[in-house]
Amino acid sequence: MLDNTVIFGLEKLTCGLPGFVKCTAEMLAGTLVEMLPPAMTVLEIVDPADVSLELMGACRNLKAAGYRLALDQSKCEPQAKPLVGPLAKMADYLKVDFSRTNPRERQTLRGQASDTKATLVAEKVETQEQFAQARDEGFTFVQGFYFCRPELLKSRKVPANKISQIEILQLLNDDTLDLRKLTQLVKRDASLTYRLLRLINSPVCAMQQEVYSVQAALLAVGEEAFRRMAAVAITSELGADRPPELLRMAFVRGRFCELAARSCGLDCSEQYLLGLFSLLGVMLRTSMKELAPMLPLREGIRRALMGEQVHERILLEWLEGYERGNWEICDSVVENYRLDREALLCCFEGAVEWAEASLHLI
């Protein structure tokens, strides 16, 4: 990871936001972490149970150099080890494990943290309910599989207005585009029309002329580009009431899968849609098993969306491992399919830049 940040720049991999880097006490006492840019880096201490004088000295030196510190409490029982202490008072962020604490315990932890200058981070947040609870309890930042894994609700159905947008996606997937029908469907959704025209009238399309209508946009950019931009706009609208990071991740996934598709003999357009739609389940708060059959995709892509280990899922599997820091999965995919690790990282960098540019236009 250190090598990647040197090659690509940490600011590109994190869209200009601070990067949390997990570190052991031994790593903090060494010098390798000093390769990371101080202004962009939060050093997360993963096992603070054994606080030594050496660790305290290393943390003071790193703080003096401009690094921020995060204290990970996920392996410590709050009753046995209060947050308040020399190391906690030095920390910029204090992380509280939602899976191992109840509201009363978290209230106690927040009270203890009030004696520090640290910002609270709720980690291992996995459901919409936990996400709302964390916000209500005053946590500033949230981390967890909630941003990557859909909440399973047995009786929940996709809302009617979302179904109409999925119908547009189905129409876009037809070999021959029915321009008149598509124009009418898109024009019924004011928000979607605005998003679509914003995207088409942007540097992303590299157009040299202005467009004022959906139909004119199709004629100007051509069917393939129109399908692509419409898919982005609809995904934006589907995720409009969800945390913006979900949409960012969806854009990164779609673009990454598209850029890397040729390296393993996969269809670029299909891979783009696979990555783009891989977070629709959590955006719509429904199971992907319910959602996937409604999507206008080939059977292999639908199976990939549902998590089945099919060939079409190679790149998405690598990316999911990369997102979670599971390097064993990443290495396994690279070795099993003889992929170029550096090429994948270049595709990821390009995907992050593209996603950031697209978000600024929405």
* Single-letter amino acid code for the residue at 4: N
> For residues 51 and 134, which has the higher predicted lDDT (pLDDT)?
134
Beta bridge partners of 6: none
- Any bridge partners for residue 41, and if so which? 19
pLDDT tens for 59-97 read 999 999 999 999 876 444 444 444 447 788 889 998 998
pLDDT exceeds 80 at position 49: no
What are the beta bridge partners of residue 44? Answer: 22, 70
The stretches of 211-326 forming alpha helices (DSSP H) are: 214-221, 223-238, 244-260, 268-277, 280-284, 288-291, 299-305, 314-323
**pTM, entire model:** 0.57
Q: Phi first, then psi: what are they for 342, rounded to 5°?
A: -65, -35
Residue ranges and CATH numbers for the domains of the chain are: 2-147 (3.20.20.450), 160-359 (1.10.3210.10)
pLDDT in tens, 320-352: 999 888 999 999 999 999 999 999 999 999 999
